[in-house]
Structure 1
Amino acid sequence: MSRLCQIGRSTHEPPTGVAGGGAAPRVRAHGVSTRPDLDVRPAHGATEPPLVDETAVVLRSSTLVLGIVASIAVAGCAAAGSGDPPSASLDASPTTTGPAATIPSTTDAPAAPAGSSSTTTSSTTSTTLAPATVAAELDLTADRLVLGTSIEGRPIVAERVGAPGGRRILVIGVIHANEDAGVAVVDRLREIATPDVPSGVELWLVESMNPDGEAAQDRHNADDVDLNRNFPYRWGPIGAPGDSQYAGTGPASEPETRAIVEFVSRLRPDLALWYHQDANLVIPGTGRDGDVRARYAELTGLPLAECCGGGGVYTGIAATWARAEAVAPDGIAFIVELPGGDLTPAQVEDHATAVLTVAGEL
């Protein structure tokens, strides 16, 4: 608060407390108390002006000046909206310019205490998150894009195969970095699709959105966050650093998540696939979404079955976020659970071929 605003506060108004402590009190915009003017009058019956008390005149003049200054100060502080900027509701990293993405965030549940192994979720409301950190503006006509960087500075790269303007198919090989068999599928897609992408298909490949985790062969990113619990749709606080499903400090708190949110929100794919291990299945769906899942399962020999009952809390999931908020109208997004270990060459071929077949049939 400026010194001028401090002068403008009424001497009869106590400082206003601020919840949480530590913040400077705000100046209120109501009236200012000033001393009354000194009254200098002629003596009763006098025919000449009385002698003027010079001290009183000086004091009166000073009071008038202070009253004017104080009034100006209060008006200025009120016009400035109390002078204190609102605090950010989200811990956002530096961002590039662009439209803000509207995401849900929790407002009514604290994060779990450090060391806690319990899981907690909460209701959500819409909050505005600044655009994701990206290395450059995203030019969707480019063959290769750096979407952003990981915590440790590794690039997150997307590659386009096929002419712009077709049905957009997005394949992400790795999100949990100790489940990295999807890299082989992405590599094979790059090999076979480059000379022979199906007509009308624009294929986008992200080998890994968790390069730091890959380097460490850890499920999490370098912040110890499970990126598949960090996406903004229905995000909820889960665990604490060190827990398997730790969801981070808030929705899309991690630079890797924000880079993918920004990219997918702009890309608006017709189909988005995320590879995981090692449940060895595709979860069934309904309607057109269910038909595409069933077709992928048929082409790869994976069972069409429910997954992971009782094995965790499923908030902030990447594919669920994409299906709800980012894919094209009538778009589809789902997880493919690969078997454990390395895929055989035949399995790699089956999955790469299934992606291209499903893409061509959309």
Structure 2
Amino acid sequence: MSNQQPQVNGTDLPSKSTAYYRVNFTGQAGEYFKIWIVNIALSIVTLGIYSAWAKVRTQQYFHTNTLINGTGFQYHGQPLNILKGRIIAVVLFVLYSFAVNSVPIIALPVMLIFVIALPWIVIRALAFNARMTSFRGIRFNFEASYGEAFQIVLLWPLLIIVTFGLIIPLIKHKYYEFVINHSSMGTTSFRYNGKISEMFIIYLIAMAIAAGISTAMMIIGMVFALFAGLASAADESSALMIWLASSGASIVIVLYLALYLLMWAFIKTKTTNLIFNNLTLDEHRFYADLNFSQMAIIQFTNTLAIIFSLGLAYPWAAIRMTRYQACCIQVIVSDNLDNIIAGEIKKVGALGDEAAGIFDVELAI
């Protein structure tokens, strides 16, 4: 990966000395496979109870192996707190199912209560995930009002139906803006300055990709149907018709998989670049240069490996994708990183641990 200085959107960088730190991920497939397989086995044996410990082990591994200037992130989530949240979610689901089946008339009121509570649940979940993460002793944070979450979680998505999905880029823009602008590292807030038009362009190109592959799928299907019809009219053997039908179906399935993977890779690549290239932390900036074709190749080969290994290649695929995405991200610090961290620690003082303890239960959503 090139270490050349990126061209960053926005105004000129501050006059202070600028330091560029490329993010590095040092996780290894073999190490993660051991964690992953043990997590699955113990979660099955304990009927899901160990899944809380499994999540903590996984998060700790990925956090500590994601490095900036040689220092990894830390994950502070506690398994018992995560387990409490999951138990609460399961109990509420069981009570809801029992109540609805026993007294159907209460189904609508109960569902309405859940819908009303959903923005609050989202805030709690985002706050928990942020406050359980730290870098060099500085905890991240997330704070937002119920009204703001209500718009993002419930109000804007309602427009998807009436706009036939055309409003999805706007919703994605609003969501990233909501999450980033209410997040902070210690006392310093993140800011997102991306344009709505840029998000619309990403989705318009993705739709063009989908339209092209869909057209190819239709043409191939029609061609094989035509040959099958000609074979039938000529009283050819049924084996030939079966072969034509199965071949056509196989090609359509492969093209459908390619369509999904290409759209995912394109949207993931472009939105990640858009977000990081318009992300700031005070006067410090970020830069991402993910490549669409590289992402598509990694995702396609990862998917094939997982399919043909019956899932056993998942750890290798996860490590491979994470390593590529991490190495394509730079942190652009308008000063020395050590000075920034030291100053932030002084501002935060003793508030960090207390704030993190407020949201000590992860709510499952």
TM-score, normalization by structure 2 = 0.22
Larger Rg: 1
* Relative contact order, higher structure (CA 8 A, sep 6+): 2
Between Structure 1 and Structure 2, the one with more helix by share is 2
TM-score, normalization by structure 1 = 0.22
